[in-house]
Amino acid sequence: MEIHKTINGVRQLVRSWKKANLTVGVVPTMGFLHEGHASLIKRAKAENDRVVATIFVNPTQFGPNEDLATYPRDWDHDVSLCEKLGVDSIFNPEPAEMYPSPFFTEVEVPELSLELCGASRPGHFKGVCLVVTKLFHITEPHKAYFGLKDAQQYFILKRLAADLNLDVTLVPCPIVREPDGLALSSRNSYLNPVERQAATVLNKALTAAKEAIDKGERNVKTLLDMIADIVAGEPLAKLDYVQAVETVGLTPVTRIEGECLVAAAMWMGKTRLIDNFVYLWRKN
């Protein structure tokens, strides 16, 4: 496994692979890797001749009052997990490699960044779009792997790739969960044992809504109220938002029809957690 810290280094490696007609998959991450990241890497390994994992805590996607400084890191663990999973190269640039001064360019899909996490985290998806565009240009992958844990991110990046004719296929991967339903997240490491237990409420609430849709409930207000009520039943939890949107323009819907994303974020102490489900409803 080759570790590259420079754009030129990883670019030369990928170009040598492509010259040999090998296919390349990329898995962008911020490190502190867990089984959710591992599922993306395994999928990339299964579908490509070579896999690059990028590990970069991207400063441009953090707001001024967010957790950039404290974001968890464990380089040795990340390297050994990537090695074990058969990653061919890790790209791990310093911020100055990605954002040399001066740097002025922005990349944005504003229409899709208005709701959900876009409303709670102004500028976040602008940072994501910028870094992922750069990572695509640097690693020139055939396929790129993203978790539906960050469903809005996936839908935004899919639109970005289509609008800019990027020659890469985005592969959405299912959410990996703890046995009690909590979605795996690097930020779960911030939770103390009591918060960790209480954090299961988010998935419980979403699962209850999903079951209600299965039973025929289509009214979004009823569903969102149900989720909010269940989260409110957990004294340690504070709901940030819960919304249902269609999956093309990410605009709010009033009834569950076609493909909808039902997503929520909550605060558990100082930790912000997100979860969601995508529901495909067809008239029989």
Applying CB under 6 A, which part among 30-38, 98-106, 189-197, 215-223 lies near ligand AMP?
Answer: 30-38
From 4, 34, 37, 77, active-site residue: 37
Q: Is 37 in the site for ligand AMP (CB under 6 A)?
A: yes
Q: Which is nearer to ligand AMP, 141 or 147 (CB)?
A: 147
C-alpha–C-alpha distance, residues 47 and 232, integer Å: 42
Q: Is 184 in the site for ligand AMP (CB under 6 A)?
A: yes
- Candidates 130, 173, 226, 244; binder of ligand AMP (CB under 6 A) is 173
Least separation in angstroms between CB 164 and ligand AMP: 19
Q: Which is nearer to ligand AMP, 40 or 44 (CB)?
A: 40
Least separation in angstroms between CB 218 and ligand AMP: 28
Applying CB under 6 A, which part among 184-192, 199-207, 247-255, 274-282 lies near ligand AMP?
Answer: 184-192
**Residue 267 to residues 34, 194, 239: CA-CA distances in angstroms?**
21, 14, 6
What is the H or E stretch that residue 63 is in? Answer: none
- Candidates 56, 71, 136, 146; binder of ligand AMP (CB under 6 A) is 146
Helix (H), strand (E), coil (C) string for 133-192: HHHHHHHCCCEEEEEHHHHHHHHHHHHHHHHCCCCCEEEEECCCECCCCCECCHHHHHCC
Q: Which is nearer to ligand AMP, 39 or 243 (CB)?
A: 39
Q: Is 150 in the site for ligand AMP (CB under 6 A)?
A: yes
3-state SS assignment for residue 109: coil
Helix (H), strand (E), coil (C) string for 199-244: CCHHHHHHHHHHHHHHCCCCEHHHHHHHHHHHHHCCCCEEEEEEEE
Q: From residue 40 to residue 79, what is the string marking binding to ligand AMP with x (rule CB under 6 A)? A: x---------------------------------------
Contact 196, 188 (CB under 8 A): yes
C-alpha–C-alpha distance, residues 146 and 159, integer Å: 14
| Among candidate residues 148, 171, 154, the one with its CA nearest the CA of residue 277 | 148
Least separation in angstroms between CB 19 and ligand AMP: 28
Q: Is 161 in the site for ligand AMP (CB under 6 A)?
A: no
Locate tokens 């464990």: which residue? 74
3-state SS assignment for residue 123: coil
Applying CB under 6 A, which part among 157-165, 171-179, 228-236, 253-261 lies near ligand AMP?
Answer: 171-179
Q: Which is nearer to ligand AMP, 33 or 220 (CB)?
A: 33
Respond yes or no: is residue 77 known to be catalytic. Answer: no
Q: Is 176 in the site for ligand AMP (CB under 6 A)?
A: yes
Q: Is 274 in the site for ligand AMP (CB under 6 A)?
A: no
Longest dimension (CA), the chain: 58
Indicate left, alpha or beta for 258 from its phi (over 0: left) and psi (-120 to 50: alpha).
Answer: left
Q: Is 132 in the site for ligand AMP (CB under 6 A)?
A: no
Q: How many residues bind ligand AMP (CB under 6 A)?
A: 17
C-alpha–C-alpha distance, residues 243 and 154, integer Å: 17
Which residues lie near ligand AMP (CB under 6 A)?
29-30, 36-37, 39-40, 146-147, 149-150, 173, 175-176, 183-186
